[in-house]
Chain A
Amino acid sequence: MSTDQSARPFNAVSFYAFLKEGKFMGVRCRENGNLYAEARPIDPVSHSNDMEWHELSGRATLSTFTCISVAPASLEAKGFGRNNPYCTGIVTLEEGPRISARIAGVDAANPQNIRTGMALELDLGEIDPDEPGLVFRPA
């Protein structure tokens, strides 16, 4: 993997490698400025492939969520499941794009107390370096 950020390919390997380095990098279309949290090599709206990396602030709001009691194997291994549900959902980044993310630091056993619209921030400490995925927590 190149240490020159701009030279890294626009793919998920780069995206999660950045995340492990503490950087939340999205991509931006140079033609029309469209931003994506996913590392897309083509802007699906403008159809341009003239993309560049764009660092995201990690500030977001909670758009919708679910609290999962039947966990997939990877999260069951972290202790989540029937007796310890976890919260995940869709966050809207302050820069505009939406992305799927797990939500830490909320009471997933009492989802009626979790509020959509709440302010969130990226939680780098919760991200598992072996199986990286986005995690946010209340700001």
Chain B
Amino acid sequence: MATTRPRRLARQVSIVGAGLSQFGAYADKSSRDLFVEAFLDMQGTIDTGISASDIEAGYLGNYSADLFEHQGHTAPIMADWLGMTPTPITRVENACASSGSALREGVMAIASGMYDVVLVGGVEKMTSLPTEGVTDVLASAADGLYEVPAGLTFPGIFGAIAKAHMDRYETNLDHLLKVGIKNHENGKLNPKAQFQVTIRDMMDRRKARSEQRGEPVPDWSDELDFLNDARANPWIAWPLRLYDCAPITDGASCVLLVASEIAEQFTDKPVHVAGIGQATGRPLHDADELTSLSAAKVASAQAYEMAGIGPEQIALAEVHDCFTIAEIVASEDLGFFAPGEGPHAVDQGRTARTGDRPINTSGGLKAKGHPVGASGVAQVIEVYKQLRGEAGDRQLDNPNLEFGLTHNVGGTGGTCVVNVLQRG
């Protein structure tokens, strides 16, 4: 019988440093190089400095270096390359939620009293395989015995969710495309993002290239016109097109977690872990609903309960937009909008940086990039930066930012991790 008692951390945990590698496609970097880059970036953010030898334990999110790079047992390699041996480090694999789950392990390790200073990160080197190879590796996060033999791919499962959402609500293809347009507008302002360009920039480049080559110049009138052209934006898994899908990315992320009682030794602007939640779901064919991820609802309820707040108090959220429909579904599962209202909120600009419910100010997985094992912690880093007022050109124009949320999904909702972070 599952217990329903409120869950509390036995002591409070804070984030005091955060680092990202550059996100993109790097033929000359292996996962260890990416992770070192993120670690050095993190070191530079600790006001009082931090050495690898000050860290008492590590948790690493990594989905599949085994298949991407033929490298298993990745955690000790990362630790060695940072100079962290013999400090214990453990790899956590929960598909695209790997580092979200790693963060949770790190928080619980400090809350237990075992450690005061813990490194949590994530890494994925994906571009070592061609696109078809990456698709097959990602498909291995679905059920290999009952989903994959039916021909379902990752975009395919989210395409089926999108179709169900379109059948049940007023959702249409333009709503999906508008999520991508918004996220690219944010990504343009993120110097770590893989795609620091708007969809309009890409459209204009395509036109300029045709003109240079003396070819007929496409007469796209605006971004939606461009994105609705199958030559510019081919179908991947109807109703999802190429620009509905997060890209294939190399990248790494890491944060330094400490017991809140010693946070001021590292920074005068800590960000507290106010609530954590994680839940498990079943394959889409066994899910309660085809338009929602039940694990996201359960995980967010846990995180809100622990933080003692509700969705209305969340000032910004980084949600798992592996596909555009996933952001719309997340905005409903997290309680920001009623079921079926997510697409209208996108239409009304409510989820834009200037809206009342900013989502994915980093550019999201769509524009920032999605190195799958690194994404959960990368989301936390965006909220950390926004809450500290350090998000540069994309900083929210809201002096009262207190709570931010991250929503990290593994597979098609087999895992969901939700964190509520609070400005210290």
Measuring CB to CB, which residues of chain A are less than 8 angstroms from any residue of chain B? 12, 16, 37-38, 44, 63-73, 75-76, 80, 82, 85-86, 88-90, 98-102, 111, 116, 131-134
Contact = CB atoms under 8 A, between A and B. Distances in A.
Nearest to A38: B146
A85 B235 contact: yes
11 contacts: A66-B160, A68-B153, A68-B238, A69-B235, A69-B237, A70-B135, A70-B153, A102-B150, A111-B239, A132-B149, A133-B150
Interface string B147-176: 111111101110111111001000000000
B153 A90 contact: no
A116 B164 CA distance: 9
Contacts of A16: 149
Please classify the interface of chain B as helix (H, G, I), strand (E, B), loop, or mixed, using the class held by over half of its residues: helix
Given A68-B156, A70-B236, A63 B150 contact: no
B135 A85 contact: no
A64 B282 contact: no
B152 A67 contact: no
Contact of B160 (A65, A70, A73): A65
B108 interface: no
A64 B149 contact: no
- Max chain B C-beta neighbours (<10 A), residue from A12, A88, A134: A88
Contact of A90 (B132, B135, B160, B239): B160
B285 interface: yes
A102 B136 CA distance: 17
Contacts of A67: 159, 235, 237-238
A72 B145 CA distance: 15
Given A66-B163, A68-B159, A100 B285 contact: yes
B166 to A, nearest CB: 9
A111 B238 CA distance: 7
Interface string B220-254: 00000000000000111111100000000000000
Contacts of A133: 148-151
Please classify the interface of chain A as helix (H, G, I), strand (E, B), loop, or mixed, using the class held by over half of its residues: mixed
B345 interface: no
Interface of B: 131-132, 135-136, 139, 143, 145-153, 155-157, 159-164, 167, 234-240, 282-286, 290
A91 B156 CA distance: 14
B237 A70 contact: yes
Contacts of B148: 72, 133
Contacts, number: 114
Closest 4 CB pairs of A and B: A133-B149, A66-B159, A100-B150, A64-B164
Nearest to B282: A44
- Max chain A C-beta neighbours (<10 A), residue from B167, B239, B286: B286
Contacts of A80: 151
Contacts of A134: 149-150
A66 B156 contact: yes
Contacts of A88: 150-152, 156, 160
A131 B149 contact: yes
Contact of A75 (B151, B164, B237): B151
A82 B421 CA distance: 43
Contacts of A38: 145-146, 286
A98 B285 contact: yes
A135 to B, nearest CB: 8
Nearest to A81: B132
Nearest to B234: A69
Contacts of B155: 66, 68, 70
Contacts of B286: 38, 44, 98
A103 to B, nearest CB: 9
A72 B135 contact: yes
Contact of A100 (B131, B147, B163, B236): B147
Contacts of B237: 66-70
A102 B234 contact: no
A73 B132 CA distance: 7
B416 to A, nearest CB: 18
Nearest to A78: B151
